[in-house]
Amino acid sequence: MPKEIIRKFEVPYLQVLDEEGRCDEGLMPDLTGEEIKELYEFMVLVRTFDEKAVKLQRMGRIGTYAPVLGQEASQIGSAYAMEDEDWMFPSYRENGSYIVRGVPMAMVLRYWAGDERGCQMPEGMNNFTVAIPVGTQVLHAVGAAWAFKMRKEKRVAMVYFGDGATSKGDFHEGMNFAGVFQIPVVFLCQNNQWAISVPITRQTAAETLAQKAIAYGFEGVRVDGNDVFAVYKSTLDALEKARAGGGPTFIECLTYRMGDHTTADDASRYRSQEEVEAWRVKDPIERLRKYMEGKGLWSKDYGAKVQEEAEERVRKAVEEMEATPEPEVEDIFRYTFEEMPQNLEEELQELREALTEGRK
Amino acid sequence: MTKINIVQAVNMALREEMARDKSVVVLGEDVGRNGGVFRATEGLLQEFGEERVIDTPLAESGIVGISIGMAVCGMRPVAEIQFDGFLYPALDQIISHAGRIRTRSRGRYRVPLVVRAPCSGGIHAPEHHSESPEAYFAHTPGVKVVMPSTPYDTKGLLAAAIRDPDPVIFLEPKKIYRAFKEEVPEGDYTIPLGEAKVVREGSALSIITWGAMVPLCKTVAEEAKGKGIDAEVIDLRTLSPLDTKSIKASVEKTGRAVIVQEAPRSCGLGAEVAALIGEKSLLYLKAPIERVAGFDTPFPLYRLEKYYLPDAARVMRAVDRVMRY
């Protein structure tokens, strides 16, 4: 009667660029100087957008907003690795990924300003709508990727979610289906360590989230989520593997939510300033800047120009968002079904008449 | 033309729609090799292969959520949930996503999805196998709800549901799955969603019902005839959107309404039908509206099942009350 170890597992960790901006050239992904600059410019743009969005909320010009601050490398590095024909399934915080995927910033703002037209993706743009119920979008990505596989299309679906989502049933069910059917999907988890006020230690007793993939029969990796090169490289590898028929991958980007959960939250109620400060020195943009400076890709003039251009683009986006005419009340009804049923016609008619009467 | 029962009509509709449209896929627990626990998907695996007839892991939210993703990306999934009581884990996906994605994306994305499930009691099943959950779905914006009561309607309504551009919850009353056969043509026909059917014309009162209660109400109507009461029976067929016009026309003709549902009484679909009659046809009424329904209790295990289910005696009492008023 043997008693023996029948399986042992390992959880790989990838960091390419350390906190000081030092790079392991052997691990460095294949990126040109221009591409590295583009990554940097996206990160500056997204941070500028993010800061502006928080301010707009404070001024009452948009509604509740979920900031990206601190997670720029995780969002931009991963979205940058995708092809246009791939599909992205975001949660509600992927404003940065949306911007990299070409969603106009005015649209992103419009969504947060309480207008569904902010989720009306332009034709040909394969980005799904915001999903607010945590983790529910994991299943949609698996189903989409399964459709690609059925039609033998070389597309991949990538789904974004956070550490909190890994506690949900839909996460488990999605991971399980993906493993069983070898679905071409990438699970991109931004472990920002806080689900509003609940720390990662209350989500799981597992040492890493990456190891969860092992139980579903596929590869899980942890990467430094504040290292844009590590995120880009691991995402690209996972996407290529999926495209080649190699099935799913789970990527845990270990990062930190520097801001509040949303503008309606006050993170100082539940976490210490020391903890936040300890993460500030790991800032994803600053370490990339240091690296670029060392490589001659960054100068003060260039940095100033990038910042200035980002501010100008964000200013224009805000202007465009605010110049958008109000949605029509008919829009409440128009998109419920392809054809409006009688009961909705009647409700709309009643509303129209009430509005007309109100104006008399 | 062959005579088939409801479960065979489900099978025929699935087979024909799968043959007609390559984007139609069937997925669920035991739908492949086993042909479904009620055999509704019998033979489909052999005919269409395991890429289109998929035995899934045991995960209802997963089945529906994944089907939503497939539907958004160009497929027409028909998901089977094995029993009514196991629909509940998928309610989040149906309410939060299936019914809202078209609206949320302002028409950019749509969800042509069918979720099929056997429903309602009467077969001496274990707990959670006899639920009538139609009101949850009828209360959910953005999804349609269908419950057929005959083989002919089953095939035509299921074909229409599969071709519909929006999500449809298709509930199949399991008590009458094999209760009777009728002639169902092979080949293409659909029955438009949203249209009720007058299954028995009458002038004295309108019995409005759906699902497994339809044959019961027809029997009661025949009995009532013996008492000189000429009852009309309406099978709603589509529970959302409701065919308000047919309800209104019938009640305004007869002036009396008895609504019969198997689901618990409070906040059931019958309440909505009653409210519509009150709003639209109040002055035509010669008697208060009567509801005959399941009770506001959990569905009992089968030793007490027959007392829970509306039966001919209870429906007849309601008929007598509206006639006596």
ipTM above 0.90, yes or no: yes
| Best to test chain A binding among B108, B110, B239, B280 (most A CBs inside 10 Å) | B108
Helix axes of A105-112 and A33-58: crossing angle, nearest 10 degrees: 30
Residue pair B235/B210 in contact by the 8 Å Cβ criterion = yes
Helix axes of A300-323 and A33-58: crossing angle, nearest 10 degrees: 50
End-to-end CA, chain A: 90
| Best to test chain B binding among A139, A154, A324, A340 (most B CBs inside 10 Å) | A139
Instruction: Give catalytic status of residue B129 as yes or no.
Output: yes
- Chain B contact for A121, CB < 8 A? yes
User: Domain extents for chain A?
Assistant: 13-326, 328-360
- Chain B contact for A9, CB < 8 A? no
Q: State the Cα–Cα distance between residues A138 and A159, nearest whole angstrom.
A: 6
- Chain A contact for B142, CB < 8 A? yes
Distance from CA of A121 to the nearest CA of B (A): 7
pLDDT attached to residue A108: 97
Look at residue A289 and tell me whether its pLDDT is greater than 90: yes
DSSP strand E in B241-289: where?
257-264
Query: Measured between beta carbons, which residues in chain B are less than 8 angstroms from residue A335?
Result: 102-103, 105-107
Q: Which residues 159-188 of chain A have a CB within 8 Å of chain B? A: 169-170, 173-174, 176-177, 180
Q: Is B219 exposed, middle or buried (0-12, 13-18, 19+ CB in 10 A)?
A: middle
Calculate Rg over the CA atoms of chain A: 22
Instruction: Count A/B contacts: CB-CB distance under 8 Å.
Output: 137
Residue pair A113/A326 in contact by the 8 Å Cβ criterion = no
Percentage, residues of chain A above pLDDT 70: 100
Q: State the Cα–Cα distance between residues A277 and A287, nearest whole angstrom.
A: 15
User: Domain extents for chain B?
Assistant: 2-184, 197-324
Q: What is the pLDDT of residues B304-325, one digit of tens each?
A: 999 999 999 999 999 999 999 9
CB contact under 8 A, B51 and A150: yes
Look at residue A114 and tell me whether its pLDDT is greater than 70: yes
Among A261, A287, A289, A291, the active-site one is: A261
Look at residue A132 and tell me whether its pLDDT is greater than 80: yes
Taking residues A207-230, report their average pLDDT.
98
Query: Measured between beta carbons, which residues in chain A are less than 8 angstroms from residue B109?
Result: 121, 128-129
pLDDT attached to residue A359: 72
Query: Measured between beta carbons, which residues in chain A are less than 8 angstroms from residue B108?
Result: 119-121, 123
Structure token pair of residue A120 = 């009306």
Q: Which residue of B has its CA nearest to A341?
A: B241
Q: Which residues contact A176 (CB under 8 A, 6 or more apart)?
A: A216, B57, B59, B62
3-state helix, strand, coil in chain A (%, to 5): 50, 10, 40
Q: Is A357 exposed, middle or buried (0-12, 13-18, 19+ CB in 10 A)?
A: exposed
Tell which CATH classification among 3.40.50.970, 3.40.50.10800, 3.30.460.40, 3.30.479.30 matches the domain A13-326: 3.40.50.970
Residue pair B199/B231 in contact by the 8 Å Cβ criterion = no
Query: Measured between beta carbons, which residues in chain B are less than 8 angstroms from residue A343?
Result: 241-242, 244
CATH topology of domain B197-324: Rossmann fold (3.40.50)
Q: State the Cα–Cα distance between residues B275 and B62, nearest whole angstrom.
A: 36
Q: Please count the residues of chain B.
A: 325
Percentage, residues of chain B above pLDDT 70: 100
Q: In which band, very low, low, confident or very high, does the pLDDT at A1 lie, cut at 50, 70 and 90?
A: confident
What does pLDDT average to over chain B? Answer: 98
Distance from CA of B265 to the nearest CA of A (A): 23
CB contact under 8 A, A144 and B72: yes
- Chain B contact for A151, CB < 8 A? yes
Architecture of domain B2-184: 3-Layer(aba) Sandwich (3.40)
Look at residue A208 and tell me whether its pLDDT is greater than 70: yes
Taking residues A287-312, report their average pLDDT.
98
What does pLDDT average to over chain A? Answer: 97
CB contact under 8 A, B97 and A173: no
Q: State the Cα–Cα distance between residues A37 and A288, nearest whole angstrom.
A: 10
Q: In which band, very low, low, confident or very high, does the pLDDT at A224 lie, cut at 50, 70 and 90?
A: very high
Buried b (16+ CB within 10 A) or exposed e, A134-144: bbbbbbbbbbb
pLDDT attached to residue A360: 64
pLDDT attached to residue B1: 77
CB contact under 8 A, A151 and B69: no
Question: Which of B201, B195, B137, B141 is CA-nearest to residue B169?
Answer: B137
CB contact under 8 A, A142 and B194: no
Look at residue B242 and tell me whether its pLDDT is greater than 70: yes
- Chain A contact for B129, CB < 8 A? no
DSSP assignment letter at B89: G
Is B197-324 in the same CATH topology as B2-184? yes
pLDDT attached to residue B28: 98
AA letter at A209: L
Q: Which residues contact A147 (CB under 8 A, 6 or more apart)?
A: B69, B70, B73, B74, B75
Taking residues A207-213, report their average pLDDT.
98
Distance from CA of A84 to the nearest CA of B (A): 15
- Chain A contact for B283, CB < 8 A? no
Q: In which band, very low, low, confident or very high, does the pLDDT at B33 lie, cut at 50, 70 and 90?
A: very high
Instruction: Give catalytic status of residue A270 as yes or no.
Output: yes
Q: Can you spell out the DSSP letters for A324-342?
A: SPPPPTTHHHHTSSSS--H
Q: Can you spell out the DSSP letters for A207-220?
A: S-STTHHHHTTSEE
What is the three-state SS of A141-184? HHHHHHHHHHCCCCCCEEEEEECHHHHCHHHHHHHHHHHHHCCC
Q: What is the pLDDT of residues A239-279, one digit of tens each?
A: 999 999 999 999 999 999 999 999 999 999 999 999 999 99
Instruction: Give catalytic status of residue A257 as yes or no.
Output: yes
Q: State the Cα–Cα distance between residues A247 and B94, nearest whole angstrom.
A: 27
Q: Which residue of A has its CA nearest to B49?
A: A150
E strand or H helix that includes residue B280: helix B269-281
Q: State the Cα–Cα distance between residues B167 and B79, nearest whole angstrom.
A: 11
Look at residue A358 and tell me whether its pLDDT is greater than 90: no
Residue pair A177/A183 in contact by the 8 Å Cβ criterion = yes
- Chain B contact for A139, CB < 8 A? yes
Look at residue A299 and tell me whether its pLDDT is greater than 90: yes
Residue pair B146/B10 in contact by the 8 Å Cβ criterion = no
Distance from CA of A192 to the nearest CA of B (A): 25
pLDDT attached to residue B296: 98
CB contact under 8 A, A87 and B73: yes
Q: State the Cα–Cα distance between residues B255 and B236, nearest whole angstrom.
A: 18
Phi, psi of B101 (to 5 degrees): -65, -40
DSSP strand E in B1-110: where?
2-4, 24-28, 53-55, 76-80
